Amino acid sequence: MYSSIPDAETGEVSTLIMQQRAKATRTAVIEGAASIFEEVGYGNASLSDVTERASVTKGALYFHFKSKEDLALAVIAEQHNIVRVAGEKIAAAGLPALETMIAMCRTFGQQLLDEPIVRAGIRLTFEASAFNGDVKGPYFDWVATMEILTRQAQLEGDVRPDIDAADFARYLVASFTGVQMVSNVLTERRDVLKRIDDMWRFIMPAIAPIQPHDAETP
């Protein structure tokens, strides 16, 4: 990918090229590992499988990752980063907060269909007990984001003010997690976007502000 052009004076390959090679190798290893973890899970995956899938040597793999556990945690971190970056783009679009929350959920669902690293990261999160991985961070981040957006949606008049934003955020993340997981078990996520839409269809009446005529007693 990168030509080894020695420096004219020192005869050494430039530091920049070496850094680019290292970054490319690390990316290849993570992508290869994600592919293997998604297919067979953490327990059945081997580092030999990863090196073969990534087309790298074992030495190159161990230069970046000391163990299969380190590699699994790196896949989870990359999955979270992919989702986070997409979420930040949605947040920057200036939509109302409630629309932003819905768009984030749908985008995450689409990534589960399109991105092997996202699918692998989610699978590894559920298998974290197999490698004693601390995978709470992404969930804490997502719950915190949804709590902030819920409070903003309340200020915008789209969510009932009496709803506890922290409780709702935790419930929403749990609901999404369950929806995509059941979709994976039953249809290999072929219907995940519809199920996410269904989730919001059931949630919306419960969080919509009560209109004056709704509160009137017959």
Boundaries of every domain in the chain: 70-211
* Residue 12 banded pLDDT, cuts 50, 70, 90: low
Q: Does pTM surpass 0.85? A: no
- Angle, in degrees to the nearest 10, between helices 47-54 and 68-91: 50
* Residue 215 banded pLDDT, cuts 50, 70, 90: low
DSSP 147-170: HHHHHHHHHTTSS-TTS-HHHHHH
pLDDT recorded at residue 214: 56
CA-based nearest residue to 172, from 114, 122, 67, 98: 98
In angstroms, the Cα distances linking 100 to 86, 205, 216 are 11, 18, 32
Tens of pLDDT, residues 107-154: 999 999 999 999 999 999 999 888 887 889 899 999 999 999 999 999
Fold of 70-211: Tetracycline Repressor; domain 2 (1.10.357)
* Residue 2 banded pLDDT, cuts 50, 70, 90: very low
Which of these ranges, 54-68, 71-85, 125-139, has the smallest mean pLDDT?
Answer: 125-139
Query: What does R_g of the chain's alpha carbons equal in angstroms?
Result: 22
More confident residue, 187 or 19: 187
Query: Can you tell me whether residue 13 is helix, strand or coil?
Result: strand
CA 65, 66, 71, 74 dihedral sign is negative
